Amino acid sequence: MHIDGNTILDAQGNPVWLTGANWFGFNTTERVFHGLWSVNLYDTIDQISAHGFNVLRVPISTELLMEWKNGQAAVPSGVNTYANPELEGLTTLGVFDAFLDASKEAGVKVILDVHSAKADNSGHFEPMWYAGSITTADFYDTWEWVADRYKNDDTIIGYDLENEPHGTYKATPRAKWDGSTDPDNWKHVAETAGNKILAINPNALILVEGIETYPKDGASWNSTNEDDYYTNWWGGNLRGVADHDLDLGSHQNQLVYSPHDYGPLVFEQEWFKGGFSQESLTEDVWGPNWLYLHDNDQYPLLIGEWGGRVGEDQRQDDWLVYLRNLISEKKISHTFWTINPNSGDTGGLLLDDWTTWDQEKLTLLDPALWQDSNGEFVGLDHVTPLVGGTNVTEYYEDGNTAPVS
């Protein structure tokens, strides 16, 4: 895949719409998908495919990648081999490769996301791509190793370089975005990592998230005045692209920007206080922080995380509908957070038994999933359709219109 303006294209030049979800666990202490302690991997992937999710964003950690790279992958304790006889005796890397095979059979594509430096259930709270003994050099080296290992497997279509780099103006350390080569400059690190990956696999999409805070016009990163900064969700502030775009050289057409956005049940941001609408969110939050890249036809967006509980809070429900409407109206790619019911902030698409699907969330999401004129879910593979759906070749052969705004 590659990009043209704000559109993601396949190898034949057809526009595609990535409409997926997240499934976490490889990033955590368990070092494997959560839920495999009770459900079968292959059955779950088939269900994900059958419900119309054509791509999975899979959080992982640099620490686990280092273990894989160094031949230190262990057999995980979080796999119930009675429910998963196919996985018995496999290491964490073996389970990941089995997941790729299952995804290939079900027509589901994969985006790999370095969610944290450490394999830790709380690792994502760290603001940077390095932590403790894990360095920026490790971050680069492991991305190169992954790119090389899977360069000939188009089940993995993209690499989300780092989950939610963040930090406020007064935090130490904190991720910034400018034209420097400073160690804390996320723009420079993302540019370096992206170019390293593309030197190995020039066909991969490079997904780059934003940061948390960015100086207002006339202010600098040296300011200690809170009023001198714009603040957004972790990973959701892409204002810096307007001033300091990433440079991927001859592979600039592989770049996708990937903000995150959440509702008031996750955190009571200032823009939720006193009431809000789709128009106010678009004008005050989404537009200046990231939507401008789509609306100016500069880059495609993939909203890597959005989601939340349904039916518990009217403002939360309103926010979900407003962002769903924006996604479906503009055909913005996205991966919903999350499959896992054990996400404390949001709940999951699966309920606590890891088997039953949340029908309210599926109904909410339906307009934001790629479907053909007959209501069949469209997969990204040219050969293997989604379970019960169709593939991108058949979609275009049947004369459906391109999924672009």
User: What are the tokens at 153?
Assistant: 């497997």
User: What are the tokens at 98?
Assistant: 């089995």
Is residue 396 within 8 A of residue 380, CB to CB? The reply is no
Q: What is the largest CA-CA distance in the chain?
A: 62
**Whole-number Å distance between alpha carbons of 400 and 353:** 38
- DSSP E strand stretches across 191-338: 205-208, 213-215, 229-231, 255-257, 302-303, 333-336
Is residue 179 within 8 A of residue 233, CB to CB? The reply is no
**Whole-number Å distance between alpha carbons of 380 and 371:** 11
DSSP 3-state of 255 = strand
* Sequence-ordered list of residues with C-beta below 8 angstroms from that of 14, at least 6 positions apart, any chain: 392, 396, 402
**Whole-number Å distance between alpha carbons of 203 and 214:** 31
User: What are the tokens at 371?
Assistant: 């479907």
DSSP 3-state of 202 = coil
User: What are the tokens at 75?
Assistant: 């057999």
Is residue 31 within 8 A of residue 367, CB to CB? The reply is no
- Nearest by Cα to 382 from 6, 11, 116: 11
Provide the annotated active-site residues: 164, 305
**Whole-number Å distance between alpha carbons of 404 and 267:** 32
Bridge partners, 64 (sequence order):
none
- The letter for the amino acid at 204 is A
Pseudo-torsion of CA 115, 117, 118, 120, nearest 10°?
-30
**Whole-number Å distance between alpha carbons of 209 and 17:** 19
